Every structure is written in C-alpha cells, then in structure tokens.
Homo-oligomer: A and B are copies of this chain.
Amino acid sequence: MGHPRAGKAQTHDRIVKIAARRIREDGLDALSIGDVMKEAALTHGGFYKHFTSRDDLVAEALASAIADNRAATDAARGSIEQLFAAYLSCSHRDDPGGGCAVGALAGEAGRAAPAVRELYTEHVRRNLQGLQALLPDAPAARSSAILALSAMVGAIGLSRAVTDPALADEILEAVRERLGASLGHAPD
C-alpha cells in the first residue's frame, strides 16, 4: 500500500504542483482537496499528513506557481520583446495552468485571505522590478513597467474569456505590438 518509493517530500511536491496548476486554471476557491488528491492518485484522507488545512495548500500552491513564473521570466532574460511575445502568446493563453499566476488570479486575489494577498502583492512587485530592469533607463521606466504589466494581465484575461477566437488572437497581437511600440520611445 502507499507509494513506498516516493518520499514524503516528493508526494508533497506532487500535490502542490497539481494544486498550482488548478488554482491557475480554476481559481483559488474552486480548488478541492478531493480532486487534487484524486489527481495525485491518493485518497482524500491522507491530505492532512502533508498540510494542516486547505488554506495551507492554497498558500503553497500559489508560492509554487509564482516560482514557476520566476523561472519562465528568467528564461526570457535580455529582451523585453521576447517577454512580450511569450506572455502574449496563444500558448500562454491556452495553458493557464502553466502560465502566469498574476494574470490568472488578478480578479480573485483581491478577495483572498490576507496571506494570499501578500504573496500576490510581492509577486507583482517583483514582476514590476523585472520589467523595469528590461526597459531603457528612462525616467518613466517605472510607469512603463506598470503599463506593460497591466496591459499584459488585462490582455491575457480578455483573450481567455472571449469566445471568438479571432478576437482573442487579435487582442494578444494588438497589445503585443502596440505595447512594444509605446514603450520603445517613452514620451518623456
């Protein structure tokens, strides 16, 4: 019985990874312990050997999702165009579970528990700093980063929500290009 070859940490991680996908796909509230454990080929009852409560899992899952994002962002190092292209891509839009947590949870984070909101906020800050570092060292780099993050988050949300595929693609494309252009020659 059990998964003798899998250490506790591995099982723990497996659960968290699954949850990290789920929260980005379905939102924080929709996360069900039973579903996650079932997907991990475990039973519902064993959950509390790994987490003290559902909130605990949510926090860990969010942290894991954020770590994913860091890795993905680092991969796009060097060029902001590359980052835009990756973020505002169809593959990102079509795989929320593997994508950006800031975008996936922008709507729900405001209603989440304080601990979750803090994590989220920290992640937003880091993203802004990362963007700013990639932008030309102009006085308006900070506001450019904010505009870029807002537009990216908004565009990915809209593109996911809209039923018309053409419109969805158009949103990504338009923002991708216009954002690059706007930020290229920061007006001040």
Contacts and interface: CB of A to CB of B under 8 A. Distances in A.
A164 interface: yes
A107 B105 contact: yes
Given A154-B149, A157-B157, A167 B124 contact: yes
By size class, the interface of chain A is 35 or more
Contacts of A67: none
A30 interface: yes
State the oligomeric state as a number of copies.
Answer: 4
Interface in A46-105: 96, 102-105
A121 B29 contact: no
Interface string A98-124: 000011111111110010011011001
Contacts of A109: 160-161
Q: Which 4 A-B pairs have the closest CB atoms?
A: A154-B154, A107-B107, A106-B157, A109-B161
A147 B124 contact: no
Interface string A147-188: 101111111011011111001001100110111011001011
A115 to B, nearest CB: 10
A89 to B, nearest CB: 15
A118 B161 CA distance: 9
Given A27-B107, A114-B163, A153 B147 contact: no
Among A102, A120, A147, max chain B CB count under 10 A is at A147
